[in-house]
């Protein structure tokens, strides 16, 4: 995982509408980058819906919200439409950003060890530096925890 104060690695990934999005496009504003394992799974759906429900509060503070997983752009589009997600979902099948941000890690499930995305969130400051690192976040509280942090900082 990256650390607070480090320069956030830039990336160029496709969103759910097959448009290229770069982290550097957002210089001048804060960005929530939340990495999640898979579209349409229970935890990931709850996490996305929590961000969607509180999206207006992020917008009011000029904070962009971006979800990243290794799912395809088609999968992202279906997920975004089904859940009416108002923010960007980026597809990272080559693990470009996922590995750059250190969230591709060994996971254990029912005693079986495999590699996968560990649900983690980064807050990037307006200068493109890492302001906050949230490893192994809980899907239900990730968005509200971030809003609480932002409220305390402002």
Residue 128: pLDDT band (50, 70, 90) is: very high
pTM for this prediction: 0.96
- Please give the average per-residue pLDDT across 48-68, as a whole number: 97
Domain range summary for the chain, segments of one domain joined by +? 12-149
Is 106 one of the catalytic residues? Answer: no
In terms of Cα–Cα distance, which of 104, 108, 109, 74 is closest to 89? 74
Checking if the pLDDT of 108 tops 90, the result is no
Checking if the pLDDT of 153 tops 90, the result is no
Count Cβ atoms within 10 A of the Cβ of residue 76 and give its class: 0-12 exposed, 13-18 middle, 19 or more buried: buried
Q: What is the pLDDT of residues 11-50, one digit of tens each?
A: 999 999 999 999 999 999 999 999 999 999 999 999 999 9
Check whether domain 12-149 has CATH 3.40.30.10, yes or no: yes
Which is catalytic among the residues 21, 23, 31, 44? 44
């Amino acid at each position: 995982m990256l650390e607070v104060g480090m320069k956030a690695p830039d990336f160029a990934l496709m969103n759910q509408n097959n448009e290229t999005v770069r982290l550097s496009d957002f210089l001048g504003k804060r960005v929530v980058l939340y990495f999640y394992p898979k579209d349409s799974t229970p935890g990931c759906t709850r996490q996305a819906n929590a961000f969607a429900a509180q999206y207006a509060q992020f917008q009011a503070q000029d904070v962009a919200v971006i979800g990243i997983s290794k799912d395809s752009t088609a999968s992202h589009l279906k997920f975004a439409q089904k859940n009416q997600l108002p923010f960007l979902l980026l597809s990272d099948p080559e693990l470009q950003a996922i590995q750059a941000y250190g969230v591709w890690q060994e996971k254990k499930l029912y005693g079986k060890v495999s590699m996968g995305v560990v649900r983690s969130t980064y807050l990037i400051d307006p200068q493109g530096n890492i302001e906050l690192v949230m490893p192994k976040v809980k899907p239900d509280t990730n968005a509200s925890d971030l809003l609480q942090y932002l409220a305390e900082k402002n």
